Structure 1
């Protein structure tokens, strides 16, 4: 049985027998497909050796430890399914020692590097303008890449200049836009309508040139592409903009608790809890401390 059939059967099992949400099923399917593309082997024949190589590749490409562990979780569930189907006897993930953290500090960009990255796209083109708005959105809100690609136009309140962000488990929080980002977002909505929307508009905020929902891997490649164009030597990813958001807020005087609220979890290294950004005091900290808002 080829990989496509194995993944199809796993997806059906998750949805119909396990009753998992569509988002969870899609995330697991994506993780397994990415792993299959990496190995170029029949998944039922892969061992712990391929998994270690996959983890090493992700580390070199700058993925966070949380992303690596999440992907391993999806892959492990897939192999548990294969065991249940009597296709394999043992789960290769069981031989992997799962790290709790990388042995280095998170990479973040300084203020000048952020400006270099934001200035790299050619805003005179539809694609370049979209990419500029993507980078500004990631940096100014600290949202995860999955939250960005999951944004819909309906979740923007341009009158109040806020976005409703949906995180893991369907938990939601509201994040403000600084005025110049709000201006660009209004302009992007016009570009989106005229340049990106094709025959059918499904409402996703950020679209590919084919009018489809933008996927996480493409955003990852865009960050790499423009970092190279800007001459940034650091090995960065979309998550680097999240680290930069938190670091720059802290540098400019925001307290840790407020930063945790904006990031949407209980502390800077976990994703367990979300809370709403609703009170004026918390909003004003962002307006006063984030360098893009202060401009």
Structure 2
């Protein structure tokens, strides 16, 4: 099987058209699994998968991480079936562990406002960081999508940005008016303080003029949360979850949210309906006469 990992990489890149980061994540998952058994030529059984899961759990890995690793492995086994090297996917016989379908974490409206209000907009770096988080929250895009946006992708006149998502699929995402209004001043700061030599065209640049990295984006958000007094563990994906949750809470339909997030399957988007169940119940309890009169004779 060892020599098939390279073929799988080509399959992901060229046939499925997945992004480099996604391909590397799949390969890391596969290598992590085989390194655990120290045998890349083994015939994998379902019991091996269970032993691997138990080891990950005992090592303190979260359910989300275990799910991600098994997802990469499952895709590899499906590829081996396609290549007629195995007959069955051993992961298909594994039951999901308790708590597998955990709900995504998100920020409430006030917490987002706190983060966006702590930046000193007189400082170029701070101004860039504010615009970065404004874009994350305005669009609900994945961090990789945000960092690959170029200035030419933004249509300020019509108020939208063109985004290239998974599988090189393009979508148009609207920007809210407040963000569109401050973009000209950001462009000036970007040109004056961040463009070094030849302009690479990316919307978000490092102080050296290079495309801003994922690690830097994570650090910017973490620092902003600390300064805003938010103790939750927050990542750019948390902002994406917040975007979807806030839209649904305010009455947006699920199909529209699916399009904005770039989900290929609406079942992926449906998880947000569970997040808003408590909010819906609060409203029902507050305003429905039968709920309000509960317990009264």
**Same fold judged by TM-score > 0.5?**
yes
Q: Does the aligned pair in 2 maintain the 1:260–1:268 contact within 8 Å?
A: no
- Is 1:25 aligned with 2:20? yes
What do the CA deviations read for 1:182-220 (whole angstroms, capped 9, x no partner)? 122222111111111112222111111221112222212
Give the drift of 1:122.
2.0
Number of aligned residue pairs: give it: 245
What is the CA–CA distance in structure 1 between the aligned matches of 2:38 and 2:217, rounded to whole Å?
Answer: 31
* Partner Cα distance (2:183, 2:55) in 1: 40
Q: SS where residue 269 of structure 1 aligns?
A: helix
Counterpart residue number, 2:273: none
* Pair 103,70 (structure 1): closer, same or farther in 2 beyond 3 Å: closer
Q: For structure 2, which runs of at least 5 residues remain unmatched after alignment? A: 40-50, 77-90, 271-297
Q: TM-score, normalised by structure 2?
A: 0.64
Looking at structure 1, the residues matched to 149 and 121 of structure 2 have their Cα atoms a distance apart, in angstroms, of: 21
Work out which of the two has the higher radius of gyration on C-alpha atoms and give 1 or 2: 2
For residues 115 and 224 of structure 1, the distance between their equivalents in structure 2, rounded to whole angstroms, comes to 15
> Unmatched 5+ residue regions in structure 1?
1-9, 60-64, 79-92, 272-295
- Counterpart-to-counterpart distance in 1, 2:26 and 2:204: 21
Cα distance between partner residues in 2 of 1:218 and 1:253: 34
Distance 1:180 1:215, change over 3 A: same
Q: C-alpha distance in 2, partners of 1:237/1:250?
A: 20
Distance in 2 of aligned mates of 1:241 and 1:255 = 19
2:266 aligned partner: 267
Q: Structure 2 matches for 1:51-200, cutoff 5 A? A: 52=56, 56=60, 65=64, 102=100, 104-200=102-198
Instruction: Call closer, same or farther: CA 1:255–1:77 in 2, change over 3 Å.
Output: closer
Give the Cα separation in 1 of the matches to 2:142 and 2:113. Answer: 20
The alpha-carbon deviation at position 28 of structure 1 amounts to 3.3
Q: Which residue of 2 aligns with 1:229?
A: 227
2:278 aligned with 1:247: no
Q: Deviations over 1:163-186 (max 9, x none)?
A: 001111111111111111012222
Q: 2:190 aligns to what SS in structure 1?
A: helix
Q: RMSD of the alignment, in Å?
A: 4.1
- Whether the 8 Å CA contact 1:15–1:21 is kept in 2: the answer is no
Residue in structure 2 matched with residue 5 of structure 1 by the alignment: none
Give the Å deviation of 1:152. 1.1
Q: d(CA) in 2 for partners of 1:191 and 1:53?
A: 47
CA distance in 2 between counterparts of 1:152 and 1:55 reads: 41
**Structure 1 122/163 Cα, relative in aligned 2: closer, same or farther at 3 Å?**
same
Q: Distance in 2 between matches of 1:128 and 1:54?
A: 41
Alpha-carbon distance in 2 for matches of 1:201, 1:220? 24
Residues of 2 paired with 1:193 and 1:208: CA distance? Answer: 12
Match of 2:289 in 1: none
* Aligned equivalents of 1:24, 1:100: Cα separation in 2: 31
